[in-house]
Amino acid sequence: MSRIGVFVCHCGTNISATVDCPGVAETLSHVPGVVHSVDYKYMCSDPGQTMIKDAIKEHKLDGVVVSACSPHMHEPTFRRACAEAGLNPYLCEMANLREHCSWVHDKEEATTVKAIDLVRKMVEKVKKNQPLYSIKVPVTKTALVLGGGIAGIQAALDIANAGHKVVMVERDPSIGGHMSQLSETFPTLDCSQCILTPRMVEVAQHPNITLHTYSELESLEGFIGNFKVKIRKKARCVDEKLCTGCGLCSQKCPTKKNLSEFNEGLGYRPAIYSPFPQAVPNKPVIDKTQCTFFLKGKCKVCEKVCPTKAIRYDQEDQILDIDIGAIVLATGFKVLQPDFFPEYGYGKYKDVIQGLQFERLASASGPTSGEMKRPSDGKEPETVVFVACAGSRDEAKGLPYCSKICCMYTAKHAMLYKHKVHHGNAYVFYMDIRSGGKMYDEFVRRAIEEDGVKYIRGRVSTIYEEDGKLIVKGADTLLGHQTVEIKADMVVLASAAVANDGAEELAQKLHVSYDPYHFFAEAHPKLRPVETNTAGIFLAGACQAPRDIPETVSQASGAASKVAALFSQSELTREPIIAVVNRTAPPLHSTCTGCALCVPACPYQAIEMEDIKNRDGKVVKRAAKINPGLCQGCGTCVALCRVKAIDLQGFSNEQIFAELMAL
């Protein structure tokens, strides 16, 4: 007969408000096999855990059911408590009374009945639980950082400085990300490149960091501590070892009229180019879609002028295989693009631009060398309208979230404009000003009070061109929804920050969750903000949600410290939730018929067929064998096995049927 202990938690009033907790404990005490059943206000607290530990010893419990919150929340806590009391941790299960019962139902009898059912089924399951022992696996102490923006740079430097190897992979020809495009940064107005480029150089020169630019993640296999990644190093058509970065090829390239990605389409670049002067590495790439040689078969000017003969037209993509222990995802965001705002005329009128384009206009390294010239005719705009929340917080556009950074960068843009064009007029249309952060609100007040930027609370309905002016029509909700019309020379849209291109595909490659807007999902919104649900993969920066530079940097350092903590262990323990074939000695007794259906079903190639030989070395049987190091415990093979020779530890057929029978 089992000796099960049931512990019902009130979770303050989170559970007890709708569930009769003492009633649940009392009812459960009558269930056969339950020898101890109590309720307590906070089971996860120190006295609560002590209660469990004492009960295990006093009542010689061989199974524990903690009826509290989700196992995703506190299963490790209670399993640890059981282990401390000498009970195998896998003999402890949780019934989810909070998330799945008390929080989603009203106070009525049915809620308590459901709670009793939920606890009862776990009691039946726990009766069938077997003691399990965690598996030890080695750790490859190399981290992969995906993305070379400020988030990736910070994470890579922190991990590398902790003494571990880092492989950084960046999709673009240079690291730096969006931060390298910015002119100045709020709230201090210090030059973005001045603070970023030293860090970029540090990454390139750090002995612990291997940098792969113009590269992408091809595939990922394995698990925490033991990932195997394939990196596609796209052909630069330039030998990186020979190239000195002199830039002669770019100067002489005849195909110069290609829109520059770095300048957000406001400037041009040659077909062989380095995105910007401070690029790291400062080695050009050939854009095969625009190079005359690749399009027409002749030209080869760059090859002729290159003093070190570094041009390689025949270079091919390389696939690199690398062993990795942990991954930091820092793939960033992108700014919402044109056709999203037909009413604002973005893409139709040259002088309607988005925030990043304004950054390039204001930047000393930009297409206008920092002079305020509007894109259409190069004139200095006398009146500029800034539209905040262009796309953000607009449910009709499918983006109900706040992009967070726009309030601050709009204030910065207006300020930068006023600093460059003293007599100009700057108007900002806004919904709310969200300027939470150190020195942030003061910064916005400075824009309004010292620089005289005119803030109008209301949204812009339409923008159209008339007599060479952009007519911005909006409402002023503080003046009783009065219509406002401004004749502007340039309009800057604070476009929403959205998930980067390919975020969904990347999430699927890595098996991390993502939210409806394709931002990567953290393991817990409050307590595990830098981890994903996939062990060993961490998040940094705006790939998780829109965020500004200080937040990105602190999150990147957080992710890096998680990686460093992981790498500080010589071996990792893994949950023993894996599939096993019933092939106890003698193996002939296994019910496995050797049909091998499970082999192709396994997503991890963890199953192989093994010949079972008799003493004479003659093969008498073939049976499946599961590699415990590779098995991740999904159980697909279990459901597939026709003779039920495979079972999943922790979620065995016996356990689940027992659960069902209790309902």
Partner 1 sequence: MAEFEPKVIAFVCNWCTYTGADLTGTSRIKHASNVRIIRLPCTGRIDFMLLMKAFAKGADGIIVSGCHPNDCHYTSGNFHARRRWIVYRSLLNFMGVDIRRIIFSWVSAAEGAKWAEVVNTAVNEFRALGPYDEYKNLAPIRANWRTEHAG
Q: Which positions touch partner 1 (CB under 8 A)? A: 70-73, 96, 98-101, 103-106, 108, 110-111, 114, 117-118, 121, 507-508, 511, 513-516, 521, 533-534, 577, 601, 603-604, 632-636, 638-640, 648, 651, 653, 656-657, 659-661, 663
**Nearest CB to partner 1, comparing residues 106 and 314:** 106
**Nearest CB to partner 1, comparing residues 118 and 384:** 118
Q: How far is CA 285 from CA 75, 133, 231, 247, 511, in A?
A: 51, 52, 18, 11, 32
Q: What is the DSSP letter of 181?
A: G
Is the omega angle on the peptide bond into residue 381 within 30 degrees of 0, that is, cis? no
What minimum distance in Å lies between the beta carbon of 508 and partner 1? 5
**Nearest CB to partner 1, comparing residues 308 and 513:** 513
What minimum distance in Å lies between the beta carbon of 169 and partner 1? 21
**Nearest CB to partner 1, comparing residues 207 and 516:** 516
What minimum distance in Å lies between the beta carbon of 523 and partner 1? 9
Burial 593-609 (b: 16+ CB within 10 A, else e): ebeeebeeebebebbee
Q: Among the residues of 85-183, which ranges form H helices?
A: 109-127, 150-161
List of residues 6+ apart from 477 with CB closer than 8 A: 457, 458
**Nearest CB to partner 1, comparing residues 68 and 203:** 68
Q: What is the DSSP letter of 582?
A: -
Rg for the chain, CA atoms, rounded:
31
Whole-angstrom Cα distance, residue 91 to residue 64? 6
What minimum distance in Å lies between the beta carbon of 160 and partner 1? 30
Whole-angstrom Cα distance, residue 498 to residue 311? 37
**Nearest CB to partner 1, comparing residues 183 and 226:** 226
Contact at 8 Å (CB) between 275 and 172?
yes
**Nearest CB to partner 1, comparing residues 108 and 608:** 108
Structure tokens at 296: 């027409």
Q: Please report, to the nearest 10 degrees, the dihedral formed by the alpha carbons of residues 387, 431, 458, 354 taken in order.
A: 10
> Which residues partner with 506 through β-bridges?
none
What minimum distance in Å lies between the beta carbon of 3 and partner 1? 24
What minimum distance in Å lies between the beta carbon of 649 and partner 1? 11
Whole-angstrom Cα distance, residue 333 to residue 328? 15
In 3-state terms, what secondary structure has residue 15? coil
Whole-angstrom Cα distance, residue 216 to residue 280? 17
Q: How many residues does the chain have?
A: 663
Amino acid identity of residue 113, one-letter, is V
Whole-angstrom Cα distance, residue 123 to residue 138? 35
CA 10 to chain centre: 34
Q: How far is CA 592 from CA 4, 605, 620, 638, 653, in A?
A: 33, 18, 13, 12, 16
**Nearest CB to partner 1, comparing residues 439 and 660:** 660
**Nearest CB to partner 1, comparing residues 243 and 580:** 580
What minimum distance in Å lies between the beta carbon of 392 and partner 1? 19
Whole-angstrom Cα distance, residue 425 to residue 448? 12
**Nearest CB to partner 1, comparing residues 158 and 522:** 522
What minimum distance in Å lies between the beta carbon of 99 and partner 1? 3
What minimum distance in Å lies between the beta carbon of 16 and partner 1? 15
**Nearest CB to partner 1, comparing residues 163 and 603:** 603
Phi and psi torsions of 487, nearest 5°: -90, 110
**Nearest CB to partner 1, comparing residues 98 and 562:** 98
Structure tokens at 610: 């093994």
Phi and psi torsions of 375, nearest 5°: -60, -30
What minimum distance in Å lies between the beta carbon of 465 and partner 1? 41
What minimum distance in Å lies between the beta carbon of 18 and partner 1? 10
In 3-state terms, what secondary structure has residue 186? coil
What minimum distance in Å lies between the beta carbon of 651 and partner 1? 6
